[in-house]
């Protein structure tokens, strides 16, 4: 029995943040200003507030300007669109991120559509989704799938010709992940809740990316021996101890580790990559806005 290794996303994310910090220093030397990331938080959802706080801290740590715009859950769609327009027109803002989900009375799609695609560091705007789909290298790419791709390339090197199965078809992870893997010349299958024989489909894969949001749904026995597994899931479930909870992924890690070559743990795998890639995307967007070449090593 081969025991797979744990893929340390936390360590990789730290290295990436270090490279971003070097790129930021170079940007500041060339332009005399810091790249700026504006994060908009509507309402007081505790999980969103935690994310926004860690994003702000990480932004400052790499030498960028962090601007936070907190608005009450009662904000109207028109007021939120006005704020987005203001940030679009603000020359000190290179990246705009509107934390999702928004309260139910607000229309996410309309808000995202209003963000200047050149400042869309989440890569959610249809212009960026379209650029990714046609392989335009100027696309801003969603942070989580970009982080997954970086981990895969670091583990496996050239991905060309590999069988990749992406489980989940969201616009935020599954679809852009599939486009990125296709861009690396993988043979890509997108599986989802209606897929027949998911176990059989997963068993074909050299690369499995699980992004379904269902705790430990992907069983260890489904994994082909020697495959590499990226677990995007973050699911809170009851812990063994009464009244406590814990975070698990979409993959049965304990079962998969004896089959696979490597697997990202939850927590400490994909999660830390997302913010690191957000910082990278902000520097990429800032450099493009200043007419500077793509920063090196990112």
Query: Is the distance from CB of 268 to CB of 253 less than 8 angstroms?
Result: no
Write out the binding residues for ligand GUN, residues 181-210 only, by CB under 6 A: none
SS3 50: helix
Report if residue 177 touches ligand GUN, rule: CB under 6 A: no
Q: Point out which residues pair with 208 in neighbouring strands.
A: 165, 229
Q: What's the min distance (Å) between Cβ of 181 and ligand GUN?
A: 19
Q: From CA 11, how far away is CA 165, in angstroms rounded?
A: 25
- Binds ligand GUN (CB under 6 A): choice among 99, 128, 228, 281: 99
Helices (H), 62-142: 77-89, 108-114, 126-134
| Residue range at the interface with ligand GUN (CB under 6 A); choices 29-37, 95-103, 177-185, 279-287 | 95-103
Report if residue 96 touches ligand GUN, rule: CB under 6 A: no
Two tokens at 233? 């899931």
Which of residues 227 and 278 has its CB atom nearest to ligand GUN in the complex?
Answer: 278
Q: From CA 69, how far away is CA 168, in angstroms rounded?
A: 31
**Could you give the maximum distance between any two Cα atoms of the chain, in Å?**
59
Report if residue 59 touches ligand GUN, rule: CB under 6 A: no
| Residue range at the interface with ligand GUN (CB under 6 A); choices 14-22, 96-104, 225-233, 287-295 | 96-104
- Binds ligand GUN (CB under 6 A): choice among 16, 98, 232, 283: 98
Q: What's the min distance (Å) between Cβ of 162 and ligand GUN?
A: 26
Q: Which has the closest alpha carbon to 169: 211, 133, 130?
A: 211
Which of residues 159 and 209 has its CB atom nearest to ligand GUN in the complex?
Answer: 209
Which of residues 100 and 247 has its CB atom nearest to ligand GUN in the complex?
Answer: 100
Residue positions counted in the chain: 298
Which of residues 281 and 287 has its CB atom nearest to ligand GUN in the complex?
Answer: 281
| Residue range at the interface with ligand GUN (CB under 6 A); choices 67-75, 94-102, 218-226, 282-290 | 94-102
Q: Which residue is nearest to ligand GUN (CB)?
A: 100
SS3 274: helix
- Binds ligand GUN (CB under 6 A): choice among 52, 93, 115, 143: 143
Query: Is the distance from CB of 173 to CB of 142 less than 8 angstroms?
Result: yes
CA–CA distance from 62 to each of 21, 97, 151 (Å)? Answer: 4, 17, 21
Which of residues 98 and 186 has its CB atom nearest to ligand GUN in the complex?
Answer: 98
Query: Is the distance from CB of 174 to CB of 142 less than 8 angstroms?
Result: no
- Site track 100-139 with ligand GUN (rule: CB under 6 A), x = hit: x---------------------x-----------------
Q: What's the min distance (Å) between Cβ of 280 and ligand GUN?
A: 13
Which of residues 186 and 230 has its CB atom nearest to ligand GUN in the complex?
Answer: 230
Residues contacting ligand GUN: total by CB under 6 A: 7
Q: Provide the 10 A C-beta neighbour count for residue 88.
A: 15
Q: What's the min distance (Å) between Cβ of 19 and ligand GUN?
A: 20
Q: Point out which residues pair with 245 in neighbouring strands.
A: 238
Q: From CA 91, how far away is CA 166, in angstroms rounded?
A: 38
Two tokens at 12? 């990789």
Q: Which residues bind ligand GUN (CB under 6 A)?
A: 97-100, 122, 143, 274
């Amino acid at each position: 029995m081969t025991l797979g290794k744990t893929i340390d996303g936390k360590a990789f994310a730290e290295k990436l943040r270090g490279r971003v910090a070097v790129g930021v220093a170079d940007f500041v030397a060339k332009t005399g200003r810091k790249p700026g990331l504006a994060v908009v938080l509507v309402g007081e959802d505790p999980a969103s507030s935690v994310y926004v706080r860690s994003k702000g801290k990480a932004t400052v740590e790499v030498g960028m300007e962090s601007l936070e715009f907190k608005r009450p859950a009662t904000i109207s769609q028109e007021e939120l669109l006005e704020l987005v327009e203001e940030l679009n027109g603000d020359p000190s803002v290179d990246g705009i991120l509107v934390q999702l989900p928004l309260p139910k009375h607000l229309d996410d799609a309309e808000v995202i559509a209003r963000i200047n695609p050149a400042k869309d560091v989440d890569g959610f705007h249809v212009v960026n989704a379209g650029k990714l789909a046609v392989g335009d290298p100027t696309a801003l790419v969603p942070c989580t799938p970009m982080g997954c791709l970086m981990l895969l390339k670091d583990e496996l090197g050239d991905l060309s010709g590999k069988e990749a199965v992406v489980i989940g078809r969201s616009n935020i992870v599954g679809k852009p992940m599939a486009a990125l893997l296709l861009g690396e010349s993988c043979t890509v299958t997108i599986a989802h809740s209606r897929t027949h024989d998911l176990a059989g489909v997963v068993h074909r894969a050299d690369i499995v990316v699980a992004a379904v949001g269902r705790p430990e749904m992907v069983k260890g026995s489904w994994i082909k021996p020697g495959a590499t597994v990226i677990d995007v899931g973050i699911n809170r479930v009851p812990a063994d101890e009464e009244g406590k909870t814990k975070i698990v992924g979409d993959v049965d890690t304990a079962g998969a580790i004896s089959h696979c070559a490597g697997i990202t743990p939850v927590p400490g795998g994909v999660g830390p990559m997302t913010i690191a890639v957000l910082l990278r995307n902000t520097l990429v967007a800032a450099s493009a806005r200043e007419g500077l070449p793509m920063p090196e090593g990112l």
